[in-house]
A and B are shown apart, each in its own frame.
Chain A
Amino acid sequence: MTAHQTITAPEAAETEMMSGAEIVVRSLLDQGVEVLFGYPGGAVLPIYDALFAEPRLRHILVRHEQGATHAAEGYARSTGKPGVVLVTSGPGATNAVTGIVDALMDSIPLVVITGQVATHLIGTDAFQECDTIGITRSITKHNYLVKNVDDLPRIMHEAFHIATSGRPGPVVIDIPKDVQFGKAAYQGPQAVTHAHDYRPQVKGDAGRIAEAVTLIAQSRRPILYTGGGVINAGPRASALLREFAELTGAPVTSTLMGLGAFPAADPKWLGMLGMHGSFEANHAMHDCDVMVALGARFDDRVTGRLDAFAPTSRKIHVDIDASSIGKNVRCDVAIVGDAASVLEDMIAAWKSMRLSMDKTALAEWWREIEAWRARDCFAYTPDSKLIKPQQAVERLYHHAKDKDVYITTEVGQHQMWAAQYFRFEDPNRWMTSGGLGTMGYGLPAAVGVQIAHPDSLVIDIAGDASVQMTMQEMATAIQYDLPIKIFILNNEWMGMVRQWQQLLHGERYSHSYSESLPDFVKMAEAFGAVGLRAEHPDELDDKIAEMISVRRPVLFDCRVTKEENCFPMIPSGKAHNEMILAQEARDLGSIIDDAGKRLV
C-alpha cells in the first residue's frame, strides 16, 4: 500500500465525498478490478470522464456491446475473477443482453454497469431510454436501479458479492446520469452494510456426505459426472476431484462446461458425455450403479431420453444451487454446497470412515469400459485431398498442446469437434457457450482471455457462420495488440443446422448455406491482422505452425470437407446406450422417431 492510500484508509474513506462516477471507479479499484470492457455513450459520459484520470483501471474499447459481455465472460472464465462491463443506456444495454443471458446460463460472474437517462427523465421515453432493469430482471442473478447516489457505494460492493458468491452470475447496475454527477460519501467494501442478506450455503450437510461416500463405497459400477460447478469452485475443486477419483478409482466424465477439471491424460478420464460425447462416457453413465453428479445440472444435452437415463443408478447430486437438484432428474442423496468444500469433506469422510471399493467389481467395471473405449468412437477417415474438420482440430491440438494454451469456441459442429478432439489437462482453459449456445461468443471471449493472459496462446476454434456474428471485435484485437488466433473450420454451411436438416428434415437444406462468404484472408488484412488459408491436408501443419508463431492476430481460413457430420451422436429422444457412431449413421431419419424430431 502506498503512503497516499494509507491516508485515505477506512475512517477517512467513510467521509470522503465523491461524485457518483468517481464512486463507481473507486469501488471497482477497491474490488480489485484491473480491466473493464466497454463502449461509451451519452448516459455514461461522467463515468468515462472519471476513467480518463484513472491509470489503474484498464478500459478495453470493444466494437459492439455484445462483444464487451463475451470478452468479460472470457476474462472471468479464464481467471476466476469477475468480468466487468460498462455500457451506455438504451441500445448499449440491449446490445449487452445476449452476453448477460449467456453468463446467467453458464454461471459466469459479471458486473455490468449500464448508464441510464437522468432520474427525472425516466419514463418519458427520453433519448436512448429503455427499461434496462425490466429487460434484464429475468436474465440476471440480481439487478439494481440506483436512484440515489448515497446508495451507490453499497450497491457497487454488494453487486460484486452477489455476482461472485454462491452460484455465480451476472449482476446489472443501472445508473442514471444525474446519479453519476451527484455527490455522496464513499464507503469501502468492508464499511458498507449490505441491504440483502445473501449468504449461500457453501458447506454440505455432514450426514448426507457420510451417506454419499458410503453409497459410493458400496457401488460396483461408480461414475463421477462433473460440470461447470467444479470449475467455478476454483482450482482447488479440480485438485480435490483428482484426489477423490484416485481414492475411489472411479471413472470420470464431464459436461461441456466442466472440461479441464479432470485431466484428459488420466486413464480414468472417459471424455465428455452427452449428445456428442464419447461412446464410453455415455455407456458408462447408462450402466452405472452409483452416479456422483458434481456441479452439473442434468441438462437435456446430457441426459438424452430421461426415462432411460442411467436406469439402474442411485444418484448423488452435489450442487451449490438447491433449485438444480431434483429439477430434471430425481436424486437419492442431495447435497447443497460448493463443489470444493463438499469434495474436501467427502475425502475426509472417506478416509475417517476407512472406506474402500470392491476391487474385483471395480476391475470388472473397468473391463466393460475399456471394451466401449475400444470402439474408438472418434475415429474418422482422413481424405488425401481434403481437410477433415476433426483432423484440423487434432492437428491444432498437436501443435498447441505443449504451449500455455486457452481455447474458446463459437457454437455448432466446430464446438463439438473442439470438445471431442482438443484435450484439456487443467481448469479455466476452455471457454465455450454451453447453456445459451451463443454463436459469436468465441472471438470476443478470446479477446477477454488474451487481455488476462497476454503471453499465452489463445485460440478461438470457430465456424464460418458463427465468426461473422461478432467479427467486428477483430478491430479490438488489433487496437490492443492481442495476438488471438481465430481458427475457422470453414465448410460454408451452418454445419449443425445442416446436419439436423439432413438427419431430421429429409435433406431439405432450408437457408443453411452461406451463399456469399467473405474472403477471410482479405478480411484479416483489412483489419490489419494476418490472414492464412489451408485447403489441402499437406499444408495444414505448416500453416498451423505459422499461425502459432506469428505474434499478431490471425484469421485462419481452414477449408474443410463441407458435409461432414458430428458423431457420435445420441439421436433426440434416445438413451445413452442408443448412441450412433459415424459408421452406423447412414439413415438417422429412420432412427429418430416423431417424438424425437420435436425436440431441439
Chain B
Amino acid sequence: MPDPQPASVYDLDHKAEVENLATFAVLVDNEPGVLHRLVGLFAARGYNIESLTVAETDRNAHTSRVTIVTRGTPHVLGQIEAQLQKMVSTRHVQDVTRDPNGLERELALVKVKSLGAERVEALRVADIFRARVIDTTHESFVFEITGAPNKIDKFAELMRPLGLVELSRTGVLSITRGADGM
C-alpha cells in the first residue's frame, strides 16, 4: 500500500497508486459554454481527458450527454466525480467503469491501403471483426467498425502491417444494461 498521506498537499499526486482508465457519463443542461465549463474544469485541475463525446440527447429537456474517458488514481477519480457533480449545469454523473452493468462502445473509420495478399487479408480480418466496408477503390478500403475500445485497438493493430493509412475514432459512448435509465 502506498503512503496514506504525502508530505504536503503540493505532493498530492499519489504517484505510488495505480492509475486506471475510467469512463464517466454526464448528463448536462445543454446551454452555451457547458462543454467549455466541463473541459475547463479538467484543464484547471490537471485531470486527463483520453476521449470526449458530446451531443444533445433530449431536445425538450435541453440535456446533452457527455461521455469522458479519463485516467487517474482512485483518489483522483473520486475527485473528478465530485467536481463534475458540483457543476451547476450537471444533472447526473455516472461512473460507468465501476458499474458492473456498464456498456462501452466506440465507432471507428479505418482506411487501409494495400494490394494482393495483404488486401485479401485485410478483408478477412475485417470480416472476423464484423467491420463493414463503406468505401473501396482498387487499392483501398474504408472500414466501419464498432465495439469496445480494446476491440478497436486490436483491429487497428492488426491492420497496421496490412497498410493502415488513417484512423478516425468517435471516442467512447456508454450506457447501462437493463431496463433502468440514468
Q: Would B40 and A137 count as touching, CB distance under 8 A?
A: yes
| 10 smallest beta-carbon distances between A and B, as pairs | A323-B82, A142-B88, A307-B5, A306-B5, A300-B9, A322-B82, A328-B9, A323-B83, A323-B86, A138-B40
Interface residues on A, range: 20 to 34
Residue A198 CB within 8 A of the other chain: yes
Interface centre among B5, B8, B79, B83 (most CB of A within 10 A): B8
Interface residues of B (CB under 8 A from A): 3-12, 29, 31-33, 36-37, 40-41, 44, 62, 75, 78-79, 82-83, 85-86, 88-89, 91
B-chain residues with CB within 8 Å of residue A134 when the two chains form the complex: 33, 36
B33 to chain A, nearest CB (A): 6
Q: Would B86 and A195 count as touching, CB distance under 8 A?
A: no
A-chain residues with CB within 8 Å of residue B29 when the two chains form the complex: 195-196
Taking A134-B33, A137-B40, A306-B8 as known contacts, 19 extra A-B pairs with beta carbons closer than 8 A to each other, sorted by chain A number, are: A137-B37, A141-B88, A142-B88, A142-B89, A145-B33, A195-B62, A305-B7, A306-B7, A306-B12, A307-B5, A321-B86, A322-B82, A322-B86, A323-B83, A323-B85, A327-B79, A328-B9, A330-B5, A595-B7
B38 to chain A, nearest CB (A): 10
Q: Which residue of the partner chain, among A197, A309, A328, A598, contacts B91 with CB atoms under 8 Å? A: A197
Q: Which residue of the partner chain, among A198, A307, A327, contacts B3 with CB atoms under 8 Å? A: A307
- A322-352 vs B, CB cutoff 8 Å, 1 = contact: the mask equals 1101111110000000000000000000000
Bound complex: CA of A323 vs CA of B93, how far in Å?
Answer: 13
A-B contact pairs, 20 of them (CB 8 A): A134-B36, A138-B41, A141-B88, A145-B32, A195-B62, A196-B89, A198-B88, A300-B8, A303-B9, A306-B7, A307-B4, A309-B5, A322-B86, A323-B82, A326-B79, A328-B9, A328-B12, A330-B4, A573-B7, A595-B8
Interface residues of A (CB under 8 A from B): 133-134, 137-138, 141-142, 145, 147, 162, 195-198, 300, 303, 305-307, 309, 321-323, 325-330, 573, 595, 598-599
A557 to chain B, nearest CB (A): 38
Q: Would A599 and B8 count as touching, CB distance under 8 A?
A: yes
Bound complex: CA of A300 vs CA of B79, how far in Å?
Answer: 17
A-chain residues with CB within 8 Å of residue B82 when the two chains form the complex: 322-323, 325
A151 to chain B, nearest CB (A): 10
Bound complex: CA of A534 vs CA of B15, how far in Å?
Answer: 54
Give the dominant DSSP class at A's interface.
loop
Q: Would A137 and B33 count as touching, CB distance under 8 A?
A: yes
Closest Cβ neighbor of A299 among chain B residues: B9
Bound complex: CA of A326 vs CA of B10, how far in Å?
Answer: 15
Q: Would A138 and B44 count as touching, CB distance under 8 A?
A: yes
* A307 and B6 contact, Cβ closer than 8 Å, known pairs A196-B88, A326-B75: yes
B35 to chain A, nearest CB (A): 11
Closest Cβ neighbor of B78 among chain A residues: A326
Bound complex: CA of A300 vs CA of B7, how far in Å?
Answer: 11
Bound complex: CA of A307 vs CA of B37, how far in Å?
Answer: 33
B-chain residues with CB within 8 Å of residue A141 when the two chains form the complex: 88
Bound complex: CA of A134 vs CA of B32, how far in Å?
Answer: 11
B68 to chain A, nearest CB (A): 16
A-chain residues with CB within 8 Å of residue B62 when the two chains form the complex: 195
Closest Cβ neighbor of B31 among chain A residues: A195
* A307 and B7 contact, Cβ closer than 8 Å, known pairs A195-B31, A323-B82, A326-B75: yes
Bound complex: CA of A322 vs CA of B86, how far in Å?
Answer: 8
B168 to chain A, nearest CB (A): 29
Closest Cβ neighbor of B12 among chain A residues: A328
Q: Which residue of the partner chain, among B11, B36, B86, contacts A137 with CB atoms under 8 Å? A: B36
B-chain residues with CB within 8 Å of residue A599 when the two chains form the complex: 8, 10
Closest Cβ neighbor of A575 among chain B residues: B7
Bound complex: CA of A145 vs CA of B37, how far in Å?
Answer: 13
Bound complex: CA of A330 vs CA of B12, how far in Å?
Answer: 12
B57 to chain A, nearest CB (A): 16
Closest Cβ neighbor of A301 among chain B residues: B9
Bound complex: CA of A60 vs CA of B4, how far in Å?
Answer: 51
B-chain residues with CB within 8 Å of residue A329 when the two chains form the complex: 5
* A573 and B8 contact, Cβ closer than 8 Å, known pairs A195-B29, A195-B31, A323-B79: yes
B-chain residues with CB within 8 Å of residue A595 when the two chains form the complex: 7-8
Bound complex: CA of A138 vs CA of B46, how far in Å?
Answer: 13
B30 to chain A, nearest CB (A): 10
Bound complex: CA of A305 vs CA of B10, how far in Å?
Answer: 10
Interface centre among B32, B82, B83, B91 (most CB of A within 10 A): B82
A140 to chain B, nearest CB (A): 9
Bound complex: CA of A598 vs CA of B41, how far in Å?
Answer: 26
Closest Cβ neighbor of A195 among chain B residues: B29
A-chain residues with CB within 8 Å of residue B5 when the two chains form the complex: 306-307, 309, 329-330
Interface centre among B62, B79, B85, B86 (most CB of A within 10 A): B86
Closest Cβ neighbor of A169 among chain B residues: B88
B-chain residues with CB within 8 Å of residue A307 when the two chains form the complex: 3-7
Q: Which residue of the partner chain, among A196, A306, A321, A322, contacts B6 with CB atoms under 8 Å? A: A306
A-chain residues with CB within 8 Å of residue B4 when the two chains form the complex: 307, 330
A171 to chain B, nearest CB (A): 9
Interface centre among B9, B79, B82, B91 (most CB of A within 10 A): B9
Bound complex: CA of A325 vs CA of B86, how far in Å?
Answer: 12
B178 to chain A, nearest CB (A): 24
Bound complex: CA of A198 vs CA of B91, how far in Å?
Answer: 8
A-chain residues with CB within 8 Å of residue B85 when the two chains form the complex: 322-323
A-chain residues with CB within 8 Å of residue B12 when the two chains form the complex: 306, 328
B-chain residues with CB within 8 Å of residue A142 when the two chains form the complex: 88-89
A167 to chain B, nearest CB (A): 8
Interface centre among A195, A303, A330 (most CB of B within 10 A): A195
B153 to chain A, nearest CB (A): 32
Bound complex: CA of A303 vs CA of B8, how far in Å?
Answer: 9
A158 to chain B, nearest CB (A): 9
Q: Would B10 and A598 count as touching, CB distance under 8 A?
A: yes
B13 to chain A, nearest CB (A): 12
B-chain residues with CB within 8 Å of residue A305 when the two chains form the complex: 7-8
Bound complex: CA of A321 vs CA of B62, how far in Å?
Answer: 26
A-chain residues with CB within 8 Å of residue B11 when the two chains form the complex: 306
A390 to chain B, nearest CB (A): 29
A206 to chain B, nearest CB (A): 21
Bound complex: CA of A323 vs CA of B85, how far in Å?
Answer: 8
A297 to chain B, nearest CB (A): 11
Bound complex: CA of A196 vs CA of B82, how far in Å?
Answer: 18
Bound complex: CA of A595 vs CA of B10, how far in Å?
Answer: 10
Closest Cβ neighbor of A327 among chain B residues: B79
Bound complex: CA of A148 vs CA of B6, how far in Å?
Answer: 50
A134 to chain B, nearest CB (A): 7
B-chain residues with CB within 8 Å of residue A196 when the two chains form the complex: 29, 88-89
Bound complex: CA of A283 vs CA of B97, how far in Å?
Answer: 42
Bound complex: CA of A137 vs CA of B3, how far in Å?
Answer: 36
